[in-house]
Structure 1
Amino acid sequence: MLKIAVLISGGGSNLKALIDATADPDFPAEIACVGSDTDAPGLEHARAAGIPAFVVRPRDSDSREAWGEVLAAAIQEHHVGTGPHPGLVVSAGLMRILPPGFVRAFSPRLINTHPALLPAFPGAHAVRDALAAGAERTGVTVHVIDEGVDTGPVLRQAAVDVRPGETEAELHERIKQLERPLLVQTVREIALGELALPGAR
């Protein structure tokens, strides 16, 4: 059984999808803990499901690296990132760039969802950027987090056509409809050994 830690900053819709998936006893992963950088409303999903949840605020640390160290320690307390079965850390809506020390501690067992077909439109405004560029197609990517910004190896993608006159909010919502099942599928494949994480031991 693959142990996963999920990191969020907001409402936790991807987290909820993972909680629903792991409620099935046949799903090959379990959520060991949920962490956030703020008092995110999505933490309620974890608490309602009886999953340990914690908040590690950057402002409580002296630097980004120090924040990353505290966050890493909180995850490792739940036996993710340690031992012979190090599990997986899933950034599912964490709205901060993870510091290099944290990335080195967990990558490549550290994945993220991004609302574009990487390498196109990296960064915080991917949906807006796709519309501004006149893209006819965009989508969602699940990728390994490395020390760059949305530059890690791509694991899985799903595409959606951009509709004429569509707003950023409308397009983002349609991307989210693809994002949740794609993330669940990717975690399942990693847990079953059907999808290899580049460089993982």
Structure 2
Amino acid sequence: MTLPLDDSTPSLVSPSLAPISTQNSPLKLGILASGSGSNFEAIAKSIENGQLNAQLQVLIYNNPQAKVVERAAKWNVPAVLYNHRDFNSREELDTQIIHSLQQYSVDWVIMAGWMRIVTPVLIDAFPDKIINIHPSLLPSFRGAKAVEQALAAGVKITGCTVHVVCEEVDTGKILLQAAVPVLANDTVETLHDRIQVQEHRILPQAIALASANLV
């Protein structure tokens, strides 16, 4: 686990994570996202700067208003909309997602702010190759509104976790974590923003480590 805190405590901040060379050929990534796409952007930048040897094959998003589609256009990544409201079941949605991931030759699936629970249909199609970023130090504060849960619990440290996706929500193998202090005057927004800084740092690294079987 890495333990970076925030800029107000520089003596406790870990050094920047170094690039990891995972393989000769780039990883082929499919990104699932529902919101602004800041983690999508972090992955794209890590590829551009050589930290992560990968290619962004496709973005799949479920919210027609999601800003992530603008980031995909900026990085020339194809984007596919599957509005979850148009499907009768989670399994039906996941079946269509698999179709697109296979169409774009994806070998690793990255849930970068994907606000839908996935089913065994998708998990079994990419066994141990679906990765999620969650805004807490799992196993604490699983599920929705993890930042709100941390504030309500009165903890002094929370953070973010990159983990392998399995059928039970937020219980898969932990790949990498980063800690973030909870300050006395924190709101949901301020704490979430500081957690996201660390998400952007550890998600690309976790992808590289997992693909190299180093975690």
Could you tell me how far 1:194 is from its partner in structure 2?
A: 5.2
- Does the residue aligned with 1:160 lie in a helix, a strand or coil? strand
Match in the other structure for 1:199:
none
Could you tell me how far 1:18 is from its partner in structure 2?
A: 0.8
Mean CA deviation greater in 20-29 or 38-47 = 20-29
Match in the other structure for 2:156:
136
- Residue identity matched to 2:78: P
Match in the other structure for 2:89:
63
- Map Cα deviations across residues 40-88 of structure 1 (whole Å, 9 max, x no partner): 21111111211111111222223211111001111110011xxxxxx21
Contact 1:29/1:187, CA 8 A, preserved across alignment: no
Unaligned 5+ runs, structure 1: 81-86, 197-201
Match in the other structure for 2:105:
79
Could you tell me how far 1:138 is from its partner in structure 2?
A: 0.6
Match in the other structure for 2:136:
116
- Residue identity matched to 1:76: Q
1:46 aligns with 2:65: no
Match in the other structure for 2:123:
103
Match in the other structure for 2:146:
126
- Residue identity matched to 1:108: D
Match in the other structure for 1:83:
none
- Does the residue aligned with 1:149 lie in a helix, a strand or coil? coil
- Residue identity matched to 1:10: G
- Residue identity matched to 2:37: G
- Map Cα deviations across residues 151-199 of structure 1 (whole Å, 9 max, x no partner): 11110000011111211111111100111010011122234x1524xxx
Could you tell me how far 1:26 is from its partner in structure 2?
A: 6.6
1:28 aligns with 2:48: no
- Does the residue aligned with 1:108 lie in a helix, a strand or coil? coil
C-alpha change, 1:23 and 1:121, in structure 2 (3 Å) is same
The TM-score, its normalising length taken from structure 1, stands at 0.89
Q: Take 1:26 and 1:155, find their aligned partners in 2: how far apart are those partners?
A: 17
1:152 aligns with 2:172: yes
Q: Spell out structure 1 runs of 4+ moving beyond 3 A.
A: 24-27
- Residue identity matched to 2:205: Q
- Map Cα deviations across residues 20-47 of structure 1 (whole Å, 9 max, x no partner): 1112357311111111012221111111
Contact 1:107/1:144, CA 8 A, preserved across alignment: no
Match in the other structure for 1:13:
38
Q: How many residues align?
A: 189
- Residue identity matched to 2:148: R
Contact 1:142/1:156, CA 8 A, preserved across alignment: yes
Contact 1:122/1:149, CA 8 A, preserved across alignment: yes
- Residue identity matched to 1:190: A
Q: Take 2:51 and 2:197, find their aligned partners in 1: how far apart are those partners?
A: 23
Contact 2:137/2:161, CA 8 A, preserved across alignment: yes
- Residue identity matched to 1:34: L
Give the percent of matched residue pairs that are identical in Structure 1 and Structure 2: 39
The TM-score, its normalising length taken from structure 2, stands at 0.84
Unaligned 5+ runs, structure 2: 1-25
Q: Take 2:50 and 2:191, find their aligned partners in 1: how far apart are those partners?
A: 34
- Residue identity matched to 1:183: L
Q: Take 1:60 and 1:103, find their aligned partners in 2: how far apart are those partners?
A: 21
